Structure 1
């Protein structure tokens, strides 16, 4: 490891598992000081053992009060964050969009879209105070194209893509870059849940794998490596990008 993020403070939502956990471990290995946020207290505790000097805060990302509390705790502990990764997300209903229940739809957008917006709202002022930095949001390849099996999820992630581009335009003059990573099918608990929700999990798995020209599912570390590139100096002239990490699915 190069220590390329030594001394930097990074805030990560959805840090307890999946892509958020992979990003947290990669940033910790590169010397970052971490504010780790998730609703899963046990998962955060396990992650903190692998991330020296991390601060964990249990939150619901859709709660403005929770997000503000976490941001204040991080500021008190480390000073202002200069990096933000919004990895918190959920699948939501798998029914056709017109058959989704209103409560399920609302909860999905509360977590995926409102949660991303609240994180930006609470942490971009810190990044500004730190003299600039970078934000990476996590959307999905399904946010760049329609989805027959996950229409509500696709809609929510499309909203994250557009929010990210708008934030990039708004904050570029302040030296704050905002980019969005759009993973394909990545081996995470969320992907496992996608298969488990299908009437025929094996058939759904084969269908999803066939969508990727590289012939396999991605690994969480491959997404984390992309996130770290976008956070780092090597991407210093990159902002407003929605980058697929999808094994060629959208090629």
Structure 2
């Protein structure tokens, strides 16, 4: 069941940090997956720089927490894989004005099993959230961006969508699809003033990553140490490091960057 929470005018802040440059002042957009992790941080940063947003997520409590730091934001609780829920988010956008920003951060990891052992229901759910959810957000926002005269899209893919991943095969396949979907949008809509780029994070300190290690039980410490050792930087990334790239790609400073899939992984894929 989906519901819309009315806009609340609150002081714009990113977890207590004052607004920065105002480079997104007057811009309107949608952020999916806004209740936690990368989506939450992107929403907070955009709002701190003047954007008015529709925030979308299944987690109503987490979404309310994000909304509390985003001046004038509208929260829509729903499932990103359900067209009706996304239609409600689109309707909320129409109450704010011309739409020129989109960040699709909603996603899930899925089972950590060899490909042949992944259950059909798990495979379908991973693709429903990661691929269909991205498609539905694009489907809702692109016509509105065209009507507005252009805009910028950043999808959240993954380093696992750029190279094969034996540990998360369903996730890897789904994020590869997100990369090519994004590039298709870039190729199709550049003439209409729309840019579309993907960020491809590696291991980033998020609840999703911590969940992976928690599921490993006694092996967690050794696997985490192995992951760190494989990275030339010797550490995991921080969420604001991804957010900085998202905001750059959305900004006018990236006006000639279109169709890229940017690894944010400390050199892991170098």
Pair 1:150 & 2:168 matched: yes
Whole-Å separation in 2 of the counterparts to 1:64 and 1:52: 27
- Map Cα deviations across residues 145-191 of structure 1 (whole Å, 9 max, x no partner): 11121111111101101111111101111000000000010000011
Instruction: Give 2:156's match in structure 1, choosing from 133, 138, 142.
Output: 138
Alignment of 1:227-246 (within 5 A): 227-246=246-265
Residue 9 (1) aligns with residue 18 (2): no
Cα distance in 2 for residues equivalent to 1:210 and 1:10? 38
Displacement after TM superposition at 1:201 (Å): 1.0
- Contact 2:100 2:150 (C-alpha < 8 Å) held by counterparts: yes
C-alpha distance in 2 between matches for 1:171 and 1:31 = 26
1:117-196 equivalence runs, <5 A? 117-196=135-214
- How far, CA to CA, are the matches of 2:165 and 2:225 in structure 1? 16
What is the SS of the residue equivalent to 2:54?
strand
Question: Using the alignment, how far apart are the partners of 1:107 and 1:142 within structure 2?
Answer: 18
Which one is further off, 175-184 or 66-75?
66-75
Question: In the alignment, which residue of structure 1 is the partner of 2:11?
Answer: none
Helix, strand or coil at the partner of 2:21: coil
Aligned residue number for residue 64 of structure 1: 83
Helix, strand or coil for the counterpart of 1:247? coil
Q: Which moved more, 1:209-218 or 1:170-179?
A: 209-218
The alignment yields a C-alpha RMSD, in angstroms, of 0.8
Which position in structure 2 is the counterpart of 1:224? Answer: 243
Shift of 1:21: 0.5
Counterpart Cα distance in 2 of 1:208 and 1:138: 21
Deviation at 1:204, TM superposition (A): 1.8
TM-score normalised by structure 2 residue count? 0.91
Tell me what 1:103 maps to: 121
Which residue in the other structure is 2:232 paired with? 213
Gaps of at least 5 residues in structure 2 are 1-19
Alignment deviations for residues 6-38 of structure 1 (CA, whole Å, 9 cap, x no partner): 000020000000000110111011010011000
- For 2:237 and 2:54, how far apart are their aligned partners in 1? 26
Distance 2:98 2:153 in 1: 14
Structure 1 counterpart of 2:37, from 18, 22, 32: 18
The equivalent of 1:249 in structure 2 is: 268
| 1:209-249 residue CA offsets vs partner (Å, 9 max, x unmatched) | 12221111101011000000000001000000000000000
Paired position in structure 2 for 1:89? 107
Shift of 1:80: 2.7
Per the normalisation by structure 1, the TM-score is 0.98
Partner residue, 1:39? 58
Contact kept in structure 1, 2:57 and 2:106, CA below 8 Å: yes
Q: CA offsets, 1:106-155, max 9 Å, x none?
A: 00000000000000000011111111010000000010011121111111
Asked whether the equivalents of residues 29 and 93 of structure 2 are also in contact (C-alpha less than 8 Å), the reply is no
Moved more, 58-67 or 207-216: 207-216
Q: How far did 1:198 drift?
A: 2.2
- Structure 1 runs of 4+ aligned residues shifted over 6 Å read none
